[in-house]
Amino acid sequence: MSCGCKLSFGKQVADLPNQLRPRFLSGLPKADVDAILSVAKHRQFRRSSVVLHEGDPAEGVFLLTSGHGRQFVTTNDGRKVLLYWLTAGQVFGGVAMLSTPIHYLASTEVVADSCALMWDRRTIREFVGRFPVLLDNALSIAATENVAWSIATQVSLSCNDARGRVAHLLISLACGVGKTTRGGVELRITNEDLAAGANVTPFTASRILNEWQRAGVLTKGRGKVLLRNPQLLLDCG
């Protein structure tokens, strides 16, 4: 598994993958970024690994450097409720930066082979004291990405019917974690995941996808959906 992170002989992180410019580290001189990276632990995760567990003490902050993941909570009856999708360059476990110890509010899993950098709570707290812009960046990300995603999801759940919610979720995922191919935008998502994210039953999700496949909007595969043209979903909601 390779994420493109540049590691020294002693496995110390020397630099990020080419073209990766995380918002979390924006506004810092390169020397300060290098200092922060040099003490990060490089972690690799296989697809479907749960990296953080809801309710565990928040002891680490992670920066995803390759792959993608998602955050979720589990209901009392065992249902998984998807909250937010993660792509390379995004941070998760940010509550570990707070001065008051807290537990993770949601679980985080990767849905593809992924790599991440991790700082333990004490280390990241020291850096936040030295470089307050880190906390500013984290708050900015929470406000403009996480909260915006939550607002869009709640609006969709309140205003759209089942077809509209499924269309809205597919469009959001296509923009966030979709892989552009010659045939369209590929999403690694199962019927169960789609059902959980759109608040419909797996049967309803499958039925809607089958209708759109017959209409040429998308193609279903094992554990994935290929959107021929995401814009066509705007007319399907």
The CATH number of the domain holding residue 208 is 1.10.10.10
Domain that holds residue 227: 160-235
Digit-coded pLDDT (tens) for 50-79: 999 999 999 999 999 999 898 999 989 888
Residue 84 falls within a domain, yes or no?
yes
Co-location of 145 and 223 in the same domain: no
| Rg of the chain on CA atoms, in Å | 19
Please give the pLDDT value at position 159: 64
Phi, psi at 232, each rounded to 5°: -65, -25
| Within-domain flag for 155 | no
122 and 101 share a domain? yes
Which residues pair with residue 226 across a beta bridge? 186, 219
Instruction: Examine the pLDDT at 201 and tell me if it is beyond 70.
Output: yes
Same structural domain, 187 and 136 = no
Task: Render pLDDT for 87-118 as a digit per residue (tens, 0 to 9).
Answer: 899 999 999 999 999 999 999 999 889 999 99
- Rounded Cα distance between 161 and 102, Å, is 37
Of the residues 150, 184, 210, the one at which a domain ends: 150
Domain of 113, CATH number, reads 2.60.120.10
**Of the residues 96, 131, 150, the one at which a domain ends:** 150
Which contacts qualify for 71-74: CB closer than 8 Å, 24 or more apart? 71/106, 71/107, 71/108, 72/106, 72/107, 72/108, 72/109, 72/196, 73/105, 73/106, 73/107, 74/107
**Which residue blocks in 131-230 are alpha helix, DSSP H?**
133-141, 147-159, 162-176, 191-198, 202-214
- Whole-number pLDDT of residue 178: 80
Check whether residue 109 and residue 24 sit in a common domain. Answer: yes
Amino acid of residue 36: I
The reported pTM is 0.78
